[in-house]
Structure 1
Amino acid sequence: MRKAYSNKFVILSLVLPGILTFLFAILAPICLSIYYALTDFTGLGSYSFIGIENFKRLVGDEVFWLSLRDSLLLAAGFILIQHPLAIITAALLDRMGKHAEGFFRCVYFLPNVISVAIIAYLWKFIYNPNFGLLNNVIKVFGGKGDVNWLGTGTAIWAVLIVLIWHGFGWGMLIYYTGIKNIDPTLYEAAAIDGADNKKVFLRITLPLMKPVIQVNVTLAVITALKQMETVYLLTNGGPGNETQFMANYLYKQAFSSFQYGYGNSISVAFVSICIIATIILNRIFKEKAEA
């Protein structure tokens, strides 16, 4: 085995597929996107090189900044609402019996295995102003129950609730896996010392979960920035641009408005923001680890 791994041909055959995948599936599309962002390409026919004009337009595009705001608002919802609930749920699941643990793990993860289209249309019916479940529940408790949840003023919050709910299972499962990898003897020692559940969670579980939390938070920010399918099916950015998100706005500009060059400038900004967010989060967690 050692001889095989010291053979340059074997090493190359193992490394080359990964390198080729990176070059053709990641690096090449990014380079092409940067190139088209510097053109007035519409997706069809000829085009010309226009330099940084698309990026100048992007800086003054109010809808782009609105879409970025909504994406960051979703990221905050993931980090401040979804993840605390997910890690607490994961900790509670870890203390359940085998049958109950398996049952509730499946229940919480169930929305993630359902088609996004089904999820979107299900919530459209729940939010329906005429016969939706939510308005009917409000009527039961004496309210008017005539709110248009996907209308002006409430649409962004309605969409955020759906996205936070839909992604809960993934976050919970990652935290659950992290908790399962903690050495059980630490919990046994804490129990012998008389530590209650709150102290065990704060002094053992959370500190040892820092690497998992870092990964999950980084994924949450990137997921929020690239959120598209559910938004597209629920509101398509409406009413107006109230629920516009970066990925959805990119799609509309490139494929609905046939401004392919401008759409690629949005994609370059999107990748840049993801990289910057990842660097910032890594530094924040590194500083906390060193403190």
Structure 2
Amino acid sequence: MKKMYSNKLVITSLVLPGVLLFVFAILAPICLSVYYSLTDYSGMGSWNMIGLDNYKALMKDEAFFTALRNSLLLAIGFICIQHPLAIIVAAVLDKLSGKGESFFRCVYFIPNVISVAVIAYLWKFIYNPNFGLLNNILKLFGYKGTVNWLSAENAIWSVLVVLIWHGFGWGMLIYYSGIKNIDPTLYEAAAIDGANQRQTFLRITLPLMKPVIQVNVTMAVISALKQMETVYLLTNGGPGNATQFTATYLYQQAFKAFRYGYGNAISVVFIIICLLATVFLNKIFEERRPEGRA
């Protein structure tokens, strides 16, 4: 076996498929996107090289910065609302046993197995100002007015609620799996030492969950930046650009406004932001070595 893996032909045959997949599925599309971002290509016909004009226009595009702001708000919502709740629910589920644990684990994950189209139209009916569930609940409590949940003032917050709710199951399941992999003898030792549940959670569960939290938070930030389907079906970025996100704005510019070159400029900036966000989060979560140690 050792002799086989020292054979250059064997090594090449094992590595080559992965390299080719990376080149043709990731690297080549990125290079093409950079190229088209330097043109005025409309998606059909000929095109001209215009240099950095698309990027200059992008820096003055208020709708683009609105989309970035909304993506940032969603990322904050994921990190500050969805994930703390998800890790607490995962810790509580871990303390349950038998059918109760399985039942609630399935209940929390149900929204993630429902079609995005169904989720979007379900919430459209919930938010409907005439017969929607939310307004009917308000009427039960004596509120006599009607709230338009998808108006320019309320739409972004309504969309954020849907997205945070919809992605909750994935985050919870990842944290649940991470907690299940913690050695139970650590909890037994803590109980013998007299630690209560709060101390056990803060001193054992959270520190040992740090790698899981890092992966989950990084995925959440990238998911917030590339959010598309639910927003497109729920509001299509409207009213105006109130609920515009980076991915929806990219789609509209490239395939509806026929500004394919401009859409590619957005995608290049999007890739750069994702890479910077990943590096930044890795820096935050990296282990700090004590001074004087190698």
Normalised by the length of structure 1, the TM-score is: 0.98
- Cα 1:134/1:289, change in 2 over 3 Å: farther
In structure 1, C-alpha distance between the alignment counterparts of 2:16 and 2:101, rounded to whole Å:
42
Matched, 1:73 2:63: no
Matched, 1:267 2:267: yes
In structure 2, C-alpha distance between the alignment counterparts of 1:10 and 1:99, rounded to whole Å:
49
In structure 2, the residue corresponding to 1:194 is in which secondary structure? coil
In structure 2, the residue corresponding to 1:49 is in which secondary structure? coil
- TM-superposed deviation, 1:287: 5.8
| Contact kept in structure 2, 1:111 and 1:169, CA below 8 Å | yes
- TM-superposed deviation, 1:201: 0.1
- TM-superposed deviation, 1:7: 2.4
Query: Following TM superposition, where does structure 1 have runs of at least 4 consecutive aligned residues deviating by more than 6 angstroms?
Result: none
In structure 2, the residue corresponding to 1:148 is in which secondary structure? coil
In structure 2, the residue corresponding to 1:189 is in which secondary structure? helix
- TM-superposed deviation, 1:286: 1.5
Normalised by the length of structure 2, the TM-score is: 0.97
Per-residue CA deviations over 1:130-186 (Å, capped at 9, x if unaligned) read 000111011011112511101120000000000000000000011111111111110
Q: Partner amino acid for 1:284? A: I
Matched, 1:7 2:7: yes
Count residues in correspondence. Answer: 291
% identity of equivalent residues: 73
The answer for the alignment partner of 1:59 in structure 2 is 59
- TM-superposed deviation, 1:217: 0.6
The answer for the alignment partner of 1:255 in structure 2 is 255
In structure 1, C-alpha distance between the alignment counterparts of 2:11 and 2:231, rounded to whole Å:
44
Matched, 1:87 2:87: yes
- Cα 1:264/1:21, change in 2 over 3 Å: same
- TM-superposed deviation, 1:194: 1.2
The answer for the alignment partner of 1:199 in structure 2 is 199
- TM-superposed deviation, 1:110: 0.7
- Say what the alpha-carbon RMSD is for the aligned residues: 1.2
- Cα 1:70/1:112, change in 2 over 3 Å: same
**Structure 2 residues without counterparts, runs of 5 or longer:** none
In structure 2, the residue corresponding to 1:239 is in which secondary structure? coil
The answer for the alignment partner of 2:44 in structure 1 is 44
In structure 2, C-alpha distance between the alignment counterparts of 1:232 and 1:75, rounded to whole Å:
18
In structure 2, C-alpha distance between the alignment counterparts of 1:217 and 1:163, rounded to whole Å:
15
In structure 2, the residue corresponding to 1:97 is in which secondary structure? coil
Q: Partner amino acid for 1:154? A: N
- Cα 1:213/1:288, change in 2 over 3 Å: farther
Q: Partner amino acid for 2:161? A: I
The answer for the alignment partner of 1:103 in structure 2 is 103
The answer for the alignment partner of 1:132 in structure 2 is 132
| Contact kept in structure 2, 1:136 and 1:145, CA below 8 Å | no
